[in-house]
Chains A and B, each alone.
Chain A
Amino acid sequence: MTSARSITASANPPRAAFTDFPLGHTCGPPDRPRLQRRIMRDALSLFDTIDTPGAIVDLEYKWETEWKNEACSAADYRTPRYDTPQYQDREDEVAARQNYGASVACGVCVPSLTPRL
């Protein structure tokens, strides 16, 4: 699934469902579980119906408020790219230190830290 059609077209995956939503909402608007399920059902149905490699199907959903003017403005919203773990909440950092030791705070962040099956 993608809300960035030109980027996905360039990457050229086997199949894609395009949702014309603002970035950060590929699967739909927040707190709308029924709508999110409907969008997902439509997206998953493409596994059955797309038979052309590289096809992108535009799902027929429209974002309820105007958002493209701002998205198309030249503003650069990116924040600095820090090379240490960036926690959403302070409590997350405390929990991660408890689980993995103090070393996780200094940017050491390796795949073996993830739980295994």
Chain B
Amino acid sequence: MEADRQPVDYIALTRDTYNRLGYLPYRWASNEVPPSWASLRKPLADSRLGLIASGGIYRHGQVAFTHKDDVTHREIPTDTDTHDLRVTHFAYDQTDARRDPNVIFPLDTLRALATEGVIGELAPLALTFMGGIYSQRRLSAELIPVLVERTLDMEVDLVLLVPV
């Protein structure tokens, strides 16, 4: 089936859903200027990789996220056993993420690639947040600066973003 090869357009789907519910259109982040750019300073195999993920991932023993515009983050040591990871969210099916967190938070995957030498090492902490935050202003003013600061603290060479 031809349509099966096309990516699902979630922006159009959300527009339709909001229309049907009588909501104002959702304003997705839209950045038209070319993104800032940096080339790798060293080979991947020598690089320290940071991991930042949305999707409401926390570790057993941490405070869970709320589902309403939670702009806090969690810091998850990258040697955490994946059995201690938890997932909470209001907007996607978490069945598989709870069974195998690597589907949205590739901790085992990246540890294996570090062992194989594909990357140099993982940063000591991965940073997670909720997503589904409906205030871009609060996201930009409160969450992003903290993620940037914590990422710079860890002196990573590159960062992998994994949104749900």
Report A's interface with B, CB cutoff 8 A: 1-2, 4-8, 10-14, 18, 20, 22-31, 33, 36-37, 40-41, 43-45, 47-48, 53-54, 66, 68, 71-72, 74, 76-89, 91-93, 95-96, 98-100, 104, 107, 109-111, 113-117
Known A-B contacts A4-B163, A10-B11, A26-B104; the reply to A91 vs B60 at CB < 8 A is yes
Closest approach, in angstroms, between the C-beta of A115 and any C-beta of chain B? 6
Option from B64, B90, B124, B164 in Cβ contact (under 8 Å) with A87 = B64
B161 at the interface (CB under 8 A from A): yes
Residues in B32-81 with C-beta less than 8 Å from chain A: 32-38, 40, 44, 55, 58, 60-70, 72-75, 77
Give chain B's interface residue range (CB within 8 Å of chain A). Answer: 35 or more
Closest approach, in angstroms, between the C-beta of A82 and any C-beta of chain B? 5
Question: Which residues of the other chain, B, contact A71 by a CB distance below 8 angstroms?
Answer: 8, 13
Q: How far is the CA of A77 from the CA of B10 in the complex (A)?
A: 13
Q: How far is the CA of A20 from the CA of B55 in the complex (A)?
A: 17
**Contact call B154/A117, Cβ cutoff below 8 A:** yes
Question: Which residues of the other chain, A, contact B93 by a CB distance below 8 angstroms?
Answer: 22-24, 77
